[in-house]
Structure 1
Amino acid sequence: MEIIRSKEFKASRAWGAKDIANMNGITTRLHWTDQPYKWHINDGEEVFVVLDGVVEMQYRIDGKEETTILQTGDIFYASVGTEHVAHPQGEARILVVETAGSV
């Protein structure tokens, strides 16, 4: 049993994470960042939940780049093969649920 105060979490580096759970190969991690990630495609599906802050999410569909702004409480679901990159606008805390070992 653990209670996690996500707004108090801060990693020592961008995209640093606190591992919360690994359930049958699916991980749940709390990330802190103030820097963009990198363009990537996950090994499986990904659920990306903005817990604190604002994140510009860029993604590609059929080679065309799209952008959306995710506010606190918004959820981005990346299906298998969705190429995407997250650009926080200042500090952000993000809950990510994905296959263990995924990029």
Structure 2
Amino acid sequence: MDIFRGSTFIADRAWGAVEIANMDGITTRLHWTDQPYHWHVNDGEEVFAVLAGRVEMRYRQAGIEHSTVLETGDVFHATVGTEHVAHPIGEARILVIEREGSL
């Protein structure tokens, strides 16, 4: 049994993470960041939950770029093939659930 404090976790670098669980190849990680990630497509679905902070999530559908601001408690579900990039607004702590080895 472990307890993770999502509101106070800090990593040593942007997008640093602690792995919470690996359940048959599906990982759950707690990330800390204050820098944008990069455009990418996961090799499966991804669930992205903002535990603390705010994140501007940019994503492309049919070649058109969209953007939404995720507040604390909001969840973004990237379906297979969804190109996306997360831009934190200040510091953010994010729970990410995805296939092991995904970007």
Partner of 1:91: 91
In structure 2, distance between residues paired with 1:23 and 1:10? 24
Q: Which runs of 4+ in 1 moved over 3 A?
A: none
Which structure 1 residue ranges, 5 or more long, are not aligned?
A: none
Partner of 2:32: 32
Partner of 2:54: 54
SS of aligned partner of 2:7: helix
TM-score (norm 1): 0.99
Report how many aligned residue pairs link the two structures: 103
The percentage of aligned residue pairs carrying the same residue is 70
Write the letter of the residue equivalent to 1:15: W
In structure 2, distance between residues paired with 1:53 and 1:6? 11
Write the letter of the residue equivalent to 1:70: L
Partner of 1:23: 23
Partner of 1:69: 69
TM-score (norm 2): 0.99
In structure 2, distance between residues paired with 1:3 and 1:17? 15
> How many Å apart are 1:8 and its aligned residue?
1.6
> How many Å apart are 1:7 and its aligned residue?
1.3
